[in-house]
A and B are shown apart, each in its own frame.
Chain A
C-alpha cells in the first residue's frame, strides 16, 4: 500500500524559469564559442552554426538536468517537446522570413497611385498596378465561374452516381489533370485560341481564364469529392426513407451537409490559381494599359506584373523593383483575404452541432 501511494506522489519538478534559462544559457555559450573561435578571415559569426550548437547544448542540458531531478518519464517528455517545438520553429522560419521580406520591400509603393493607375506611358517612378489587379480579379472570377460548377458536378457524379468504366475514366482524367504542369495548361489555352481566333486575337483574358480553369477544375473536383464522401450514408438513407428522390436528396441533404467543406475547398482552389504566372504569360499576355474587357486584347495580371517588372527593369531600376514587390504584396494580401473568407464561410456554414 505504501509503495503504491509513493508511486502516485508528484516527483520533484524543475522550476518554471528552467526552460527559458536553459535556452538563454545554451545559446549564449554557443554564441560565445563561435565568436571566440572564428578566424578573422571568415568574417561574421555563423548564425546557423550558433543555432545548431545552441539547440544541441540545450537538449543536452535539459536531458541531463531533468533526468537527475525529475526522473526518466519527465525527461523524455521534455526532450520530445523540445524537438517538436524546434521542428515547428524550423517550418515557420521560412514562412515568416518570406512574409517579412515581401512586406518590407512591398510597403514602399503600396500607395493610392498603385491602386488607381496603370503603367501606360510610365517609364520611371509612379504608375500603378490597377490594370493588373483588375485583370487578376476578372480572370480568376471567370475561371471560378467555369471551374466551380464543372468541378462540383463532376464530383457529385463521381460520388453519387459514378459506377463502372465511365467513372473510372473520369477519375483517371482528373488525376492526370491534377498533374498537368501549369505551363502546359497555358500552352493548351494559347493554342486553342490560336486555332479558334487566329494569331491576331489569340491572346486575351478569356484564354487566360481557360488556362486557369484547366488547373482549377481538378482541385475543385478533389476537394468536393472528399467532402461528399464524408457525408454519412445514413443521412442519404434517412432521406430516401422519407420518400425523397435521389436528386432532391443530393441537392437538399448531401450538399448542404458538405457545403462548408466545399466552399473552403473552392476558395483554396482559387488561392491556388490566383498566383499562377506562366500560363497567363502565354495565354493572357501582358500589357501596360487598362483593359476591362476579358474577351479582347491582352490583359495584365498581378503575377505577370510582378514578373515583368522584375524581369524588364527599365533605366530607373528601383521604381520597377518597388512596383514588383508591391505587386507581390498585393497578391499575398488577396490570398490572405481569401483564406480569411474560407474560414468565415466554414464557420457559418458548418452544420451546427451539440
Chain B
C-alpha cells in the first residue's frame, strides 16, 4: 500500500449506532432458519451413541411410518454426493455425512429424518433404531499423550539455545491445562436448502463466509459456482464455529435433492457440542527463566492438543511464546493427539488464547519469584522489534496500553503479597494478562452506487457475525464521502455480491474497510471527472447527478495488501486487568472490575468496537471461570452438552467493563490505520483472571476453569 493517509476520528460517526440495529431490536432481522419458504420441510438429525465402530443395522421403518415423516436419509439410501469420491472420511473440507457405516465420534449423525413439521421430524428421529459394532474408543487426552504426534515436520521451533531457561537463576516450570470449550453462539447452526432443478441451489446458511461456503458446496456437489447461492444476512454469533462448512449443511442439501422440496435443518443445542467444532482441550508445559533483575533468559513451551482421528486440526498455540517478549532463547513444540471425537475448529483467539493462558500465567508466577511487579517485568522484556526475525512492528503501543489499563483498574492498590487483602471477609486480588494476534488483511471488492437521491449503496459478500461490520463500513464511507450514515446502505451476506473474505481472524475491517475506502475514493474521482476542475472534494452528489441527467453513478473497486507485510511485522495487542473478590471459605469468585486496553490501530467505529472488547473479555471470563466440556470416557460421550450444565457467563457474573483503546493509527497496514480486535479482546483474559485469583488467595489454578471446588480443596502456594 502506498497510501498511508489515515482517517481522522470523526465526530459524525463517533457514536454511530448499529446500522442494522433497528432490525435487530424489533425482531425483523431474519437469521438462517427464519425464511418462510413455500413447501418447507424440517430435518432432524439422529446422532450416534457410540464413539467408535460401525453401524450394524439401522431400523428406520417406524420413523418412516410416523405421521408427517417424508423421508429418512442414512448411509444406506443417501443419494451419492458427487464430490465424495475416495474412501477417506473427509472430502473437500467436509466430513462425509451418510457416506458409509463408520463411526468416528459420539453424536456423529447417522440419519436425517425429514417431516412436514418440526414436531413430527423430532418424533420421527426418536423412532430411528440403530445398532452398532463397537470398537474401543479413546477420548481422553491425558491418557493418550504418549501417542502425540507433530502435525507437520517435527513441530518444533527454536531460537538461541534450547531449554536455556534451565540455566537462569530464577525459574518456573509448570503445566497448564485448558479443557475443550464450545463456541456456543446463541443462534443454533441452521440451514435451509432449496434446489431449482438439478444444477441450481440456494441455501440460507449460518456461515461466516458466504463465498467460501459457496465454493465448498459447489465442489462437494460438483456445481458451477455461479449456480450456488449462499445467503447469510444475519448471523447470530459464531466465534469461529461457522468458519467452515459442516456435515449438517451437506445433509440438508442431500435431503432437499432427494425430496425435491426445501429442507431446513437446525442443530439442537446438544448437536452444537459435537458437530460444529470447539476449542481443543490442550495440555501445555512452560519453562521460563530470568536473571535476578527480570531479564528473560529463555522460554520453553510445549503444547499437546486434541484433534479427531479423521481430520487434523492445528492452531498457533505456542506462537505467543515466540513473539510476545524479547527473549533470546526460545524453543517450542506442538503436537496433536488424535481421539475418537469430533474435529475441533478455530474459536475466538484460536491457539493464542490457549497459549497466552499458559505463558501469561507463567510470567505472573515468575514475577512473584523475582519480586518484580508483573507490568514492570513485562516492560523489562518489551519487544521493540519482532523477536523471531527482527522486523520492525508496523505499530506497537502495548506499553501505553499497560499504563492505561493499570491506571483504570487501580493497579497501585494491588498488594504484591498474595492473600493479604481482605475486604469484609472477601479476599481481593489484581491480575493482568496480555495478548497478541497477527493483524491480517485479505483482498476484497466493493461496489458503490450513488443513487439520484444522494443515497449511497455499498455491496460486498462479507457476513457479519456480530462485531458490526456494516456499521464500521458505513462509518468509513460516511467519513470518506462526507454524507451522513443514514444515507448509506450496506448490502452483504449474499454470495453473489462482489468478492469478500470470510469473517475470521479479526481481518474484516482491514480487508473490506480498505475496499470501501478504495471504492469511495474512486467514486469521488468519478464525480470529480463529471464536475471538472475546481469542484469540491465532497460535492452534493445528488445535484451533480441531476445536472448530468444521471440516474446513478457506480463503481467497483478492489483493494488488497501490498508488500508492506514483507517489511513489517503486524500485530494487534491487548492487555486485560482484573480485580477479583474471592470468598475463602466457599470458593466463590466474583469479578469485581475489569479494564481492557486494545492497541488496534485507529478505531473506525468506536461504539461497536467497545462492545467487541467487552464481549471478548466476557468470553475470557467464561473460559477462566466456568467453561468446560466434560466427557464420560467410558462412553466417549459428552455429559454436559447443554446450557444448564455447560456454563457460560450470565449477567450476574459480569461487572461494568472498561474498554479502552490506544487509538493510534497503524501507518502501514491499510489506509484507515485499523488493526483487528476480535481475537485480542479475548486472548490473555483467562490468565488475567487466574493471576488475580492467585493475588487474592495465593492459590494458583493451572487447569481451567477456576471453579469454587478447586479453590477450596487446594492449598495456598507460597512463593
Our verdict on whether A and B bind, yes or no, reads no
